Structures are given as C-alpha cells and as structure tokens.
A and B are shown apart, each in its own frame.
Chain A
Amino acid sequence: MATEIQTPNRPTPSDGAPHGKSGRRYTRTGARPRPSGNFELYSWYFFRVSGILLLVFALGHLAIMHLINNVDVIDYKFIADRWASPLWRTFDLILLFLALSHGVNGARTLIYDYVQTRSWRTFALSALYVTGIFFLIIGAQVIFTFQPQVVK
C-alpha cells in the first residue's frame, strides 16, 4: 500500500505563495522570477512601478529634509509652513501611500517565505494588514485635517 507523506500544516509551493510556477523561487541575481498568477503578477509589477516612483518621492523627501534643509531647522512651524501648500500635502500623501504599500507588500513576501505554519502565517498576515491600514489611516488623517496653531 502506497503511503503518501502529508504535512498538513505546511503550504505547498502552489498554495498562494508569491513565486512562479517554474518552481524556482529566486533567480541567481536575487530577483523574483516574473510570477504567472494574476495577483502575484500585479504584485510583481507593483513592486517595480512603486519602486521607480519612490525613487522620486522617497529620495526627494530625504534630499529636501536632510540636504536642502536639515533636522536642526525642522519643527512644528516648518511643517505648518510646508503644509500651507496643497502641493506638499499631495506630495506627502503620495509618498505615504507608495511607501506603505511597497513596504507592506514586501513584508507579505517575507511572511510567505519565512512563516511556514499555516496558522502563524494567517496571524502574521492579518497583523501586517491591520498595522498597514492603521498607519495609512492615521498618516492620511493628519495630512488631510492638519490646521496650523499659532506657535508661541
């Protein structure tokens, strides 16, 4: 009688894990091979598109805050002056969304790679999505609702 070895708690490679049907999880240069499923293909593209946009928004943010200005001059008044312009609020909102979604998508990939037990994986993914949505809400809320107060 043939016995089949079963490991019920361990997902198989086709069990929604973010890599292609090729079975090779990573190419030798360190990038994920282009996945074939629908969602994972979009995720794969999203990494690259958001990554390119973040070159402008994240590196731009760092250059503005640490090279053109620096931490010594940043305070409440600096932010209030900056957010007086809808342009900078929009810039910060785009940066918030891109950085969070790119980062959460990355963490999702790590969870699929390193959390092998199904229940722990579900827990880790739930915690990640709840945390991500929470920070998206509080970040967007302050950008939308900020009203400057008079600084003493």
Chain B
Amino acid sequence: MYRGQSGMWMWVLHRLTGVGILAFLFLHIADTYLVGLGPQYYNELLFLYKNWPFRIVEWLLVGAVLYHALNGLRIITLDFWENAIEHHKVLFQTTIIAFFVLWLPAGYFMLKDVKWFTWN
C-alpha cells in the first residue's frame, strides 16, 4: 500500500530536507555568533554567502525549507481533518504545485542580481 507511492517519496524527501536544514542551521548559528565578536570577523566570513556558487546553494536551501513547510502542512491536514485521506491525491498535487509556484519566482528574485563566475 505504502511502499513506492507518492507518500513514501514525500516522506523520504521530508527527512532529507529536514536533515539538510538542521545541518545548515548549525552553520548559520555559528556564523551569526561571529557578529558578537565584531565587524572584522563577521564581514570577513560573508564571502561564504555572497559568491555565486553559494547563491545557488541558498536557493536550494530555500527550496528545502519550502518543501518541508508545504509537506508539513499536508501532513497536518491529514492528521487533523478526518476526510483528508479521501483527498490525498489532491493534497499531494496541491503541495507540489504550490512548491514550484513559490520556489521558481523566489529563484528569479534571489538570482537575478548575481555576478556570475566572479569572486570577491
């Protein structure tokens, strides 16, 4: 019933994106900690977030958060709305469509001013 259906892949992706976001969260708390040490430390490190390869990674990270959020909403809907299971296909499709509707325009705005293939 479960193996190989959409629910399984969304469950796998939910775990993968969750682990990825948690790993980034640790990094992000560590870099923010440098703000407390002073501008020379924090501004030095920011090359990590401003150069083009990382800008792509940031867009992927936004995708991971968006997927995790939307799929989380799908799970909560299934948990608390009794008849939701009868509409699980529609819920699945809505989740996927909402994901791309949010993620692709976010990519446009996040990447439109990137100076590609330069480094500073």
- Report A's interface with B, CB cutoff 8 A: 26-31, 34, 48, 51-52, 54-55, 58-59, 62, 66-67, 70-72, 74-77, 79, 96, 99-100, 103-104, 106-107, 110, 131, 135, 138-139, 141-142, 145-146, 149, 151-152
Task: Give the residues in chain B near A110, CB-CB below 8 Å.
Answer: 15, 19
Chain B contact residue count (CB 8 A cutoff): 47
Interface residues of B in 65-92 (CB under 8 A from A): 65-66, 69, 72-76, 78-79, 85, 88
Q: How many whole Å from B43's CB to the nearest CB in chain A?
A: 5
Q: With a CB–CB cut-off of 8 A, which chain B residues contact A142?
A: 32-33, 35-36
Any chain A CB within 8 A of the CB of B2? Answer: yes
User: Quick one: given A75-B46, A103-B21, are A139 and B32 in contact (CB under 8 Å)?
Assistant: yes
Report whether over half of chain B's contact residues are helix, strand or loop; otherwise say mixed.
Answer: helix
- Where chain A touches its partner, the secondary structure class is helix
Q: Smallest Cβ distance from A85 to chain B, in angstroms?
A: 15
Q: Which A-chain residue is minimally distant from B13 (CB atoms)?
A: A30
8 A Cβ contacts from B29-55 to A: 29-30, 32-33, 35-36, 38-39, 42-43, 46, 49-50, 55
